[in-house]
Chain A
Amino acid sequence: MPRCWLKEFMKSTWFEVARPQKIDLNDWSQHFRLVRDEQIKEFNYYHNPEWGIYLSPPATFMVYGARELKRLKFDNSLASLRMWGFVFNESERLFRAKQMGKRVIATMGDLGTVPVIIMAFPNCIPFYPECIWWTPFFKESTVLLDTATELGIPEAACFSKATLAAFHKKAYFPKPDLIFASTGASCDDYSCIMQLVNDLGYEMLWLEIPFRRHNDEQYPDRFEEYLISEYERVWNKMVELTVINDKTGLIPSIKKANRLRSLAERIKQLTYEAPITPLPALELMTIEFGNLYGYADLDEWLDIVEMINETVAKRVEKGIGVLKQNAIPIAWITPSADPLLLNLVEDCGLRIVGTEYVINQALVPIEENVEPFRALARSFMKASLIGSTQERIKRIIEGVKNERIKGVLVTNMLGCSHCAMETRLIEKMLSKVPVLSIDVPVPFGITEQLRTRIAAFAETLR
């Protein structure tokens, strides 16, 4: 009995007392033994404890093909473990959703706004097929990218081309009940990819993204009206599908999205401002992208992010974290499709204190005191890619001016339309600090040369 009690006590407290650090797959498999059975059962998606359990050691996902996990390092908190289990479970979750009669809606291209409308309808699950762009890297496999090339996409194109292959293979997510495809003043690559998805026989409702000519405060009112009319079209299509027409559902949906956005922002700020980084950059990026659609279960994702927030707050309070205190603060512009790069940068003694991951529209609060579609339009008008480069990086420029950011890393993809045109300009605009611009290599393609460049960049900053 005493031994059993001691075991349970150890299990319940280990995660409380463990020193924050980045650990590998084997360490996680060891530590996972300390997770209580009740805890495993406690966390489940779609509120279903029978088959909705997702807490498992990252090694599980490596066995299922995510080979890069064996090279990655993860935060050792229970909250992060929960996050990874949930994120890697998304594909299963989407198929489950379909099985249990939920509507699965693909929202493509707008990155953050249309899902808020979809979530106003009961039993409707939005997801972003383009988030599959991480899959070739996690799996260290070029199957999706090669298939995309066979289907007609040039080799030098954004890694989001994996989306076309995923639609073609029909194995990564269920056939969506509806597809909303946003195009317009955004990147060319994804617009072309969506057109090819359309050509595979998937019907889609195309939505227009206007160009924000002036800054995000002074654009003409009619731009909001354009977006509102597009959101009305989304709404009508959803009403057609669900036979439900209750716009009051938008209010809680916006509130939930705002709750998530404010939590993510809080975690980012705590992490950026703490003397010792309490959460690694990889986990932080995963949280930021969670704002798009809550990885297909917003309620559970909110709960996870709350838990991470508590973990981070406690670490900050105790003055502990996962990186050395002398890690050099840098900003990161354009997200990396290869998660390993985020690890590498931290291994070189850098810490991320600012990002511009092209999803600003999913980070800003949505107004709650105006008509819902107008509020959504206003939040979308703050999108990263619909305005000028200068505006896109204004927060980073501010950080450089305040001497909070000592260097900037820009990740590019060969042939990507906005990378090709923006990067040199970004380097010029940020000329007061060293800027390292790198191309994200294909899966399993990070070379010593690239490691050396990052290390040399870190040295320069030091």
Chain B
Amino acid sequence: MELIGYTCSYTPVELLAATGFKPYRLLHGNVGFITLGEKSVRVDACPLVKSNLGYIMANQKKFAAVVGSTGCDMARRMFDVLKELTNIPVYLFNNPRTDKPTIFYDEIDWLAGELECLSNKKINSEILGTEIDRWENARNRYRRLDQKRASNPSLISTADFHRAVMNYHKGEIGSAININENQSDKPRIYLLGSSIPYEANQILELLELDLAIVGDFNCGISRFLNINIKEKSLNGIKVAYYNQPPCIFKRPNQPFYEFIGTQIKELECKGIIAWTLDYCDSYEFELKRIGRIFELPVLRIRSDLSFQNLSQLKTRIGAFAEMLA
């Protein structure tokens, strides 16, 4: 057992890493895993959740524990399934939907205590300080790459960036990051929506045949760069994770729109790609608002992660790019 799985952007990786296990973001989107997952949940569950479930079931021995938050309802309920079907210890913390920092802070304290018991290790400020440095350094390296992606013209593709950040999400933060610069003068667009799983890199490649994705708000790509821990302590972790740009499921979600609006303006985007996974309520319910609030052309891409419609998608993306150009 070497991994400690986690499912949510609000989970502090530094705290997980302090246990000695490698934090591994559960971001799988593979049809084989989905089929496995569907043995335990209905077909109309989120494909990412089904796939993650399948991945964990197939790799149970790798996981020392899995940590999640109450963020997305389906992701939260995956822990009930895990409890019933596996012996992996699971920890689920309250991630308040409304502005309730106290709840979040109390829960991170609780989680720290649980992780100490799990690892049989005192998570003191020294250990946390070391982990904060390690992960903050990693984030800084990725931030530099992100600046290149965001520059005008964009110097690296999001598909390449995504391949690189997989290491961060899989806990491999020591590995070297090599991305060749590849300037793009294609229409600049912003990507937002449901998670981009490891296996969905091909979608990014397809999009960037005609477009340049210069910014995103998706779990699985650059959201972790919004974490900036200023105080090297558990308190610093709590504050940084709580105050990250809010997820769309926060209520009310006006601050989410304000953050994205600013990003889109700063990055000089001409359009938006709204990527949603089947049955992802948080984004699917908001698609109309996204179009109305940002007043930009929106291309909606809905996926069950089977990637069976790539040819059709290619045509749609091409038409969208033509419209923007």
A residues neighboring B (CB under 8 Å): 151-154, 156-157, 181, 183-189, 191-196, 198-199, 206-208, 210-211, 213, 220, 222, 226, 388-390, 412, 414-415, 417-425, 428-429
- Judge whether A388 and B98 touch: CB under 8 Å: no
Most buried by A among B45, B78, B106, B281: B281
User: Is B40 interfacial (CB-CB < 8 Å)?
Assistant: yes
Given the known inter-chain contacts A152-B289, A388-B83, A425-B40, please indicate yes or no for A189 contacting B281, CB distance below 8 A: yes
Distance between Cα atoms of A428 and B40 in the complex (Å): 9
CB-nearest residue of chain B to A419 = B42
- Judge whether B288 and A188 touch: CB under 8 Å: no
Distance between Cα atoms of A389 and B284 in the complex (Å): 25
User: Is B163 interfacial (CB-CB < 8 Å)?
Assistant: no
Contacts of A151 in B (CB 8 A): 288
Distance between Cα atoms of A388 and B97 in the complex (Å): 19
Binary CB contact string for chain B from 39 to 71 against chain A (1 if under 8 A, 0 otherwise): 111101110010000000000000000000010
Across the A-B interface, how many residue pairs have beta carbons closer than 8 Å?
134
Contacts of A193 in B (CB 8 A): 285
27 contacts across the A-B interface (CB closer than 8 A): A151-B288, A152-B286, A152-B287, A157-B285, A183-B97, A184-B94, A185-B76, A188-B72, A188-B249, A191-B97, A191-B249, A192-B282, A193-B285, A195-B251, A199-B289, A213-B92, A226-B100, A388-B80, A389-B80, A390-B83, A415-B44, A417-B279, A419-B44, A421-B74, A421-B78, A424-B42, A428-B84
Given the known inter-chain contacts A193-B285, A388-B83, please indicate yes or no for A156 contacting B73, CB distance below 8 A: no
Distance between Cα atoms of A412 and B83 in the complex (Å): 22
- Judge whether B80 and A185 touch: CB under 8 Å: no
Contacts of B118 in A (CB 8 A): none
The 3 A-B residue pairs whose C-beta atoms are closest, nearest first, are A152-B288, A421-B77, A192-B285
- Judge whether A418 and B252 touch: CB under 8 Å: no
Distance between Cα atoms of A50 and B150 in the complex (Å): 70
Binary CB contact string for chain B from 245 to 265 against chain A (1 if under 8 A, 0 otherwise): 000010111000000000000
CB-nearest residue of chain B to A208 = B98
Q: Report the minimal beta-carbon distance from B280 to chain A, rounded to whole angstroms.
A: 9
- Judge whether B92 and A211 touch: CB under 8 Å: yes
Contacts of B97 in A (CB 8 A): 183-184, 191, 206, 208
Contacts of B100 in A (CB 8 A): 208, 226
User: Is B177 interfacial (CB-CB < 8 Å)?
Assistant: no
Contacts of B279 in A (CB 8 A): 156, 415, 417, 420
User: Is B153 interfacial (CB-CB < 8 Å)?
Assistant: no
- Judge whether B251 and A417 touch: CB under 8 Å: no
Distance between Cα atoms of A187 and B97 in the complex (Å): 12
Distance between Cα atoms of A154 and B49 in the complex (Å): 19
Q: Report the minimal beta-carbon distance from A387 to chain B, rounded to whole angstroms.
A: 9
Beyond contacts A191-B249, A195-B252, A220-B110: 6 other A-B pairs, Cβ-Cβ < 8 A, are A183-B251, A187-B73, A192-B286, A195-B286, A208-B103, A421-B41
User: Is B96 interfacial (CB-CB < 8 Å)?
Assistant: yes
Distance between Cα atoms of A208 and B284 in the complex (Å): 22
Contacts of B285 in A (CB 8 A): 152-154, 157, 192-193, 195-196
Distance between Cα atoms of A389 and B252 in the complex (Å): 27
- Judge whether A210 and B94 touch: CB under 8 Å: yes
- Judge whether A226 and B103 touch: CB under 8 Å: yes
CB-nearest residue of chain B to A189 = B281
Distance between Cα atoms of A419 and B73 in the complex (Å): 11
User: Is B1 interfacial (CB-CB < 8 Å)?
Assistant: no
Which residue of B44, B73, B80, B96 contacts A188 across the interface (Cβ within 8 Å)?
B73
CB-nearest residue of chain B to A161 = B285
CB-nearest residue of chain A to B78 = A421
Distance between Cα atoms of A183 and B287 in the complex (Å): 20
Given the known inter-chain contacts A157-B281, A186-B73, please indicate yes or no for A421 contacting B45, CB distance below 8 A: yes
- Judge whether A423 and B253 touch: CB under 8 Å: no
- Judge whether A390 and B80 touch: CB under 8 Å: yes
Distance between Cα atoms of A213 and B251 in the complex (Å): 21
Given the known inter-chain contacts A152-B287, A191-B97, please indicate yes or no for A429 contacting B84, CB distance below 8 A: yes
B residues neighboring A (CB under 8 Å): 39-42, 44-46, 49, 70, 72-74, 76-78, 80-81, 83-84, 92, 94, 96-98, 100, 102-103, 106, 110, 249, 251-253, 279, 281-282, 284-289
CB-nearest residue of chain B to A181 = B251
Distance between Cα atoms of A454 and B146 in the complex (Å): 56
Given the known inter-chain contacts A208-B103, A390-B80, please indicate yes or no for A420 contacting B42, CB distance below 8 A: yes
Distance between Cα atoms of A196 and B279 in the complex (Å): 17
Q: Report the minimal beta-carbon distance from A152 to chain B, rounded to whole angstroms.
A: 3
Contacts of A390 in B (CB 8 A): 80, 83-84
Q: Report the minimal beta-carbon distance from B50 to chain A, rounded to whole angstroms.
A: 9
Q: Report the minimal beta-carbon distance from A221 to chain B, rounded to whole angstroms.
A: 11
CB-nearest residue of chain A to B280 = A188
Q: Report the minimal beta-carbon distance from A267 to chain B, rounded to whole angstroms.
A: 32
CB-nearest residue of chain B to A223 = B94
Q: Report the minimal beta-carbon distance from A440 to chain B, rounded to whole angstroms.
A: 13
Distance between Cα atoms of A194 and B74 in the complex (Å): 18
Contacts of B81 in A (CB 8 A): 421, 424-425
- Judge whether B251 and A424 touch: CB under 8 Å: no
Distance between Cα atoms of A422 and B80 in the complex (Å): 8
Contacts of B98 in A (CB 8 A): 183-184, 206-208
- Judge whether B281 and A424 touch: CB under 8 Å: no
Distance between Cα atoms of A417 and B70 in the complex (Å): 13
Which residue of A207, A213, A418 contacts B73 across the interface (Cβ within 8 Å)?
A418
Distance between Cα atoms of A151 and B94 in the complex (Å): 30
Contacts of B77 in A (CB 8 A): 389, 417-418, 421-422
- Judge whether A206 and B80 touch: CB under 8 Å: no
- Judge whether B286 and A211 touch: CB under 8 Å: no
Given the known inter-chain contacts A195-B251, A195-B253, A420-B279, please indicate yes or no for A184 contacting B70, CB distance below 8 A: yes
Contacts of A207 in B (CB 8 A): 98
Q: Report the minimal beta-carbon distance from A205 to chain B, rounded to whole angstroms.
A: 10
Contacts of B251 in A (CB 8 A): 181, 183, 191, 194-195, 206
Q: Report the minimal beta-carbon distance from A154 to chain B, rounded to whole angstroms.
A: 5
Which residue of B42, B76, B102 contacts A423 across the interface (Cβ within 8 Å)?
B42
- Judge whether A222 and B74 touch: CB under 8 Å: no
Distance between Cα atoms of A226 and B99 in the complex (Å): 12
Distance between Cα atoms of A198 and B286 in the complex (Å): 12
Contacts of A412 in B (CB 8 A): 42
Distance between Cα atoms of A185 and B49 in the complex (Å): 17
- Judge whether B84 and A154 touch: CB under 8 Å: no
Q: Report the minimal beta-carbon distance from A408 to chain B, rounded to whole angstroms.
A: 16
Distance between Cα atoms of A220 and B107 in the complex (Å): 11
Q: Report the minimal beta-carbon distance from B143 to chain A, rounded to whole angstroms.
A: 31
Q: Report the minimal beta-carbon distance from B11 to chain A, rounded to whole angstroms.
A: 15
Distance between Cα atoms of A191 and B288 in the complex (Å): 16
Given the known inter-chain contacts A208-B98, A421-B49, please indicate yes or no for A192 contacting B281, CB distance below 8 A: yes
Distance between Cα atoms of A151 and B76 in the complex (Å): 27
Distance between Cα atoms of A422 and B77 in the complex (Å): 7
Contacts of A210 in B (CB 8 A): 94, 96, 103
Contacts of A388 in B (CB 8 A): 80, 83
Contacts of A156 in B (CB 8 A): 44, 279
